[in-house]
């Protein structure tokens, strides 16, 4: 199978739809191209085309799905029959009576904004661009590994319901990446462009410019060599400044995941975990200081998880999850909202055609404040400014965390006094955000994301976006390496 003929699929839908209360068809075609240069040698060009359909049936209170790569009429009928079979098996013994949920019949379209189309640049020119950047990363004998790459993804989706719903959404992602590793004896240090594919965005070639790809090699090589000679990050309780390429991880793990309503309802307890957040906390729990404002915002043009509708057909719009520090809304789609009675958002998302949608983050952003970075440094008597996530670990209630960064700068008496390596910090979500003491202005905001948010059984990896300014926290337990 190559790409799906969506029009043909649409013409088949009426014929293969079983006589049930609700039926939807979700078709996904994903085309991906990966170009990579490692240590000045181009890896083989890798491309993929993946296509398939999931048919979901609600009948008699049960819900079942059948997913297939067989897009013939007979293949679709078999998938529909599988969905019917599972709906029958689950009826009367599901977590909820699905008949009580009104699935929407949405009509709409969405296409990613792309200022400079990927196709306008030839394959040869793209390789040349990556090769030149890669070559500039190797400017010291201590540099042992270096590389550049870009992943281009186009995802075309069709969603149909037996009640007349019809959605077409086309996503265009570009994710450039760069890293350099240096070694000296028993020490190895790495610097990268924002972390593991963190510069993933919707858009085309303009994404390279947005992440300063061309100028990055000089900065990264300087920093990685400096890290080899740097002192270890100090140990103690102190102030912590986090740049946007670490804030994204902090938001993701200690706000995003705990607010997923399916976690709160217990669905994830066997795998991704539960949550310290309970239903009673919405509207009453002060999640952080009054400086903390967090939004679910699927409307920002180039952020990774921007879309018009989620995979259950719910229209997506911006909502505050935390306003002035108060927890006001959770991350739950249609089914979770019905099950919990809580207000949610349009975040029922599937990683692909072969996995059913569940509650996911999308774009989860920390709204800007009123401080400049120099002001936040000046307010810090003793602390560390950390950049670029490299390590992440948090308990299954999303409470006790420990995160590490690639690069740290020590602050003493309001001034940066030097680079420190192996910067780590740990804390507890429930109290960490109370110590948010400074939020950067809009010009300090960085927009990042990840294609690797894992969750659910069967497992699903989805893309999410996180935009945040630089932030300052007080009383954080900071430490370094061995």
Cβ proximity to other proteins: between 269 and 318 the closer is: 269
Q: Rounded to whole angstroms, how far apart are CA atoms 456 and 186? A: 39
Contacts of 466 (CB under 8 A, 6+ apart): 247, 248, 249, 251, 252, 256, 363, 364, 365, 366, 447, 448, 449, 450
Measured in whole angstroms, how far is the alpha carbon of residue 284 from the centre of its chain? 27
* DSSP-assigned letters across all residues of 271-323: TT---S--GGGTTT-B-S-TT--EEE-TT-TTSTT--SB-TT-PBP--EEEEE
DSSP 357-375: -EE---BEEEPP-SB-HHH
- Residue closer to other proteins (CB basis): 185 or 341: 185
4-7: long-range pairs with CB below 8 Å, 24+: 4/29, 4/51, 4/53, 4/71, 4/156, 4/158, 6/156, 6/158, 6/168
Minimum distance from residue 268 beta carbon to other proteins (Å) = 8
Closer to other proteins by CB, 252 or 302: give it.
252
Q: What are residue 139's phi and psi, to 5 degrees?
A: -125, 20
Please state the closest distance from residue 427 (CB atom) to other proteins, in A: 8
* H/E run at residue 417: strand 415-421
Minimum CB distance to other proteins, residue 13 (Å) = 18
Q: Give the CA dihedral 226, 227, 228, 234, nearest 10 degrees.
A: 130
From the CB of 386, what's the least distance to other proteins, in Å? 14
Tell me the C-alpha to C-alpha distance, in Å, between residue 5 and each of 93, 109, 123. 37, 17, 26
| Nearer to other proteins (CB atom), residue 63 or residue 327 | 63
Residue pair 444/415 in contact (Cβ under 8 Å)? The answer is no
* Residue number with CB closer to other proteins (92 or 374): 92
Task: Output 67 or 471, the one with its CB closest to other proteins.
Answer: 67
Say if CB 361 and CB 347 are below 8 A apart: yes
Closer by beta carbon to other proteins, 131 or else 163? 131
Q: Exposure of 341 by Cβ count < 10 A (0-12 exposed, 13-18 middle, 19+ buried)?
A: exposed
Q: Report in angstroms how near the CB of residue 66 gets to other proteins at its nearest.
A: 5
CB of 21 to other proteins, least distance (A): 17
b/e 67-90 (16+ beta carbons within 10 angstroms → b): bbeebeeebbbbbbbbbbebbeeb
Look-up: residue for tokens 């072969």?
A: 354
Least CB distance to other proteins at residue 392 (A): 6
Of 271 and 318, the one with the shorter C-beta distance to other proteins is 271
Smallest distance, other proteins to C-beta of residue 203, A: 24
**Rounded least distance, CB 72 to other proteins, Å:** 6
Query: Would you say 51 or 157 has its CB closer to other proteins?
Result: 51
What is the β-pairing status of strands 166-184 and 107-111?
parallel
The nearest distance, CB 264 to other proteins, in angstroms, is 12
Q: Does the CA dihedral 453-455-459-464 come out positive or negative?
A: negative
CB of 190 or CB of 470, closer to other proteins: 190
Identity of the residue, 39 or 215, whose beta carbon is nearer to other proteins in the bound complex: 39
DSSP state of 257: G
Residue 324 C-beta: closest distance to other proteins, Å: 29
> Which residues are registered as beta bridge partners of 394?
401
Alpha carbons 473 and 433: distance in angstroms, whole number = 8
């Amino acid at each position: 199978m190559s790409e799906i003929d969506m029009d043909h699929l649409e013409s088949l839908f009426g014929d293969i739809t079983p006589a049930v209360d609700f039926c939807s068809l979700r078709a996904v075609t994903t085309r991906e191209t990966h170009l990579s240069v490692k240590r000045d040698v181009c890896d083989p060009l890798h491309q993929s085309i993946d296509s398939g359909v999931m048919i979901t049936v609600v009948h008699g209170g049960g819900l079942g799905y059948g997913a297939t790569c067989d897009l013939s009429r007979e293949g679709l009928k078999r998938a529909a029959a599988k969905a019917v079979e599972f709906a029958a098996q689950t009826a009367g013994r599901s977590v909820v009576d699905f008949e009580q949920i009104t699935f929407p019949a949405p009509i709409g379209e969405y296409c990613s904004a792309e200022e400079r189309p990927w196709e306008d640049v030839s394959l040869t020119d793209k390789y040349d661009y990556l090769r030149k950047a890669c070559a500039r990363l190797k400017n010291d004998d201590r540099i042992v590994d270096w590389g550049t790459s870009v992943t281009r993804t186009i995802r075309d989706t069709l969603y149909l319901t037996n009640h007349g719903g019809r959605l077409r959404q086309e996503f265009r992602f570009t994710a450039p990446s760069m890293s350099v590793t240096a070694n000296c004896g028993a020490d190895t240090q790495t610097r990268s462009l924002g972390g593991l594919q963190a510069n993933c965005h919707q858009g085309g070639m303009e994404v390279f410019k947005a992440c300063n790809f061309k100028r990055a090699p000089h900065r990264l090589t300087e920093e990685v060599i400096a890290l080899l000679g740097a002192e270890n990050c100090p140990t103690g309780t102190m102030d912590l400044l986090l740049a946007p390429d670490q804030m994204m991880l902090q938001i993701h793990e200690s706000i995003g995941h705990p607010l997923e309503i399916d976690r709160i309802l217990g669905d994830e307890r066997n795998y991704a975990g539960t949550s310290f957040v309970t239903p009673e906390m919405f509207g009453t729990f002060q999640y952080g200081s009054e400086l903390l404002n967090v939004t679910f915002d699927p409307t920002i043009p180039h952020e990774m998880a921007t879309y018009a509708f989620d995979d259950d057909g719910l229209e997506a719009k911006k909502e505050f999850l935390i306003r002035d520090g108060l927890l006001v809304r959770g991350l739950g789609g249609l089914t979770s909202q019905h099950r919990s009675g809580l207000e949610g958002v349009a975040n029922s998302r599937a990683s692909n055609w072969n996995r059913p949608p569940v509650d996911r983050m999308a774009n989860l952003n920390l709204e800007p404040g009123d401080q400049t970075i120099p002001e936040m440094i000046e307010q810090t008597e003793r602390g560390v400014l950390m950049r670029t996530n490299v390590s992440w670990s948090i308990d299954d209630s999303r409470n006790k965390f420990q995160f590490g960064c690639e690069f740290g700068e020590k602050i003493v008496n309001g001034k940066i006094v030097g680079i420190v390596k192996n910067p780590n910090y740990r804390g507890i979500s429930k109290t960490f955000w109370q110590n948010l003491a400074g939020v950067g202005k809009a010009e300090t905001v960085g927009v990042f994301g990840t294609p690797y948010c894992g969750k659910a059984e069967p497992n699903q990896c989805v893309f999410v976006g996180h935009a945040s300014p630089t932030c300052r926290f007080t009383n954080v337990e900071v430490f370094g390496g061995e």
